[in-house]
Structure 1
Amino acid sequence: MIERMHTGQRMSKIVKHNGTVYLCGQVGKAEDGIKEQTAECLARVEALLAEAGSSKEQILQAIVWVSDMKYFAEMNEVWDAWVPEGHAPARACGEAKLARPELLVEVIVTAACD
């Protein structure tokens, strides 16, 4: 069975299937800098995972897009402080043009759930 949560015409924020949670991409507040945007999108990821019956300790894979690789080190400072020790997921990070030029980072995660 597939369960979709916060579903609109274009996407669902959460999709659950066979013990796996898929989240749509999360971004921060466009007026903030890279560290603040990263912290905000990770807080949103954490809240959606909790709603879906999962947690950041259960993240299987993360895909991180930054608008410019010059933000890589600063984004990683926030990421590294957020990921629980011993629970780092498989992760990819690349540079991409995001939906709006003010957005500096987007995080997409897949996690296990109970």
Structure 2
Amino acid sequence: MTIQRINPSQRWSDITIYNGIAHFVEVPECEETDIESQTKAVLAQAEASLAKAGSDKTRLLSVTIYITDFADVAAMNAVWDAWFEPGTAPSRACVKVELADPACKLEMAFVAAGGHASDASGPK
């Protein structure tokens, strides 16, 4: 099987696709101060990444949410719930962590049924 890497750099690739499954992580612009705006930013970025992988949010298989404060979970869940059509949410884990940038309140790791992106670069 071929591994496809979209926008690879020395430390990471924006998206890695293997066997039709896309893996990627989204981090908000951390100047956005509240959990709602950071969650909306991450989900908007995820939609763009899913499109690059030939997928969409209805094809998400799982998401791991890394959050810095469990007091923010209810507000994050409100944005999350509004983003999905009923019955299309993937499996999910939510873990409390300390992130590298203290201004960031969360980041999310996505796994989705994907396709082959037409704008991929780098070795396969």
User: TM-score by structure 1 length?
Assistant: 0.95
Please state how far the C-alpha of 1:21 moved relative to its aligned partner: 0.5
SS in 2 for 1:45: helix
After TM superposition, the structure 1 = structure 2 runs for residues 1-114 of structure 1, keeping only pairs within 5 Å, are: 1-23=2-24, 25-32=25-32, 33-114=34-115
Amino acid at match of 1:55: D
Is the CA contact 1:56–1:84 (under 8 Å) kept in the aligned structure 2? no
Letter in 2 for 1:54: S
SS in structure 2 of the partner of residue 21 of structure 1: strand
Residue 31 (structure 1) shift: 1.8
Displacement, 1:19? 0.9
TM-score in terms of structure 2 length = 0.88
Provide, for residues 51-110 of structure 1, a one-character-per-residue CA deviation record: whole Å limited to 9, x for no partner: 110110000000001111110000000000012221110100011001110000101100
User: What is the root-mean-square deviation of aligned Cα atoms in Å?
Assistant: 0.8
Rounded to whole Å, the distance in 2 between the matches of 1:18 and 1:84 is: 26
* Distance across 1 between alignment mates of 2:72 and 2:31: 15
Higher RCO (C-alpha 8 Å, min separation 6): 2
User: Computing the radius of gyration over CA atoms, which structure comes out larger, 1 or 2?
Assistant: 2
CA distance in 1, matches of 2:63, 2:55: 14
Report the count of equivalent residues. 113
Segments of structure 1 that go 5 or more residues without pairing to the other structure are: none
Cα distance in 2 for partners of 1:85, 1:56 equals 12
Distance 1:30 1:113 in 2: 28
Q: Which runs of 5+ in 2 are unaligned?
A: 116-124
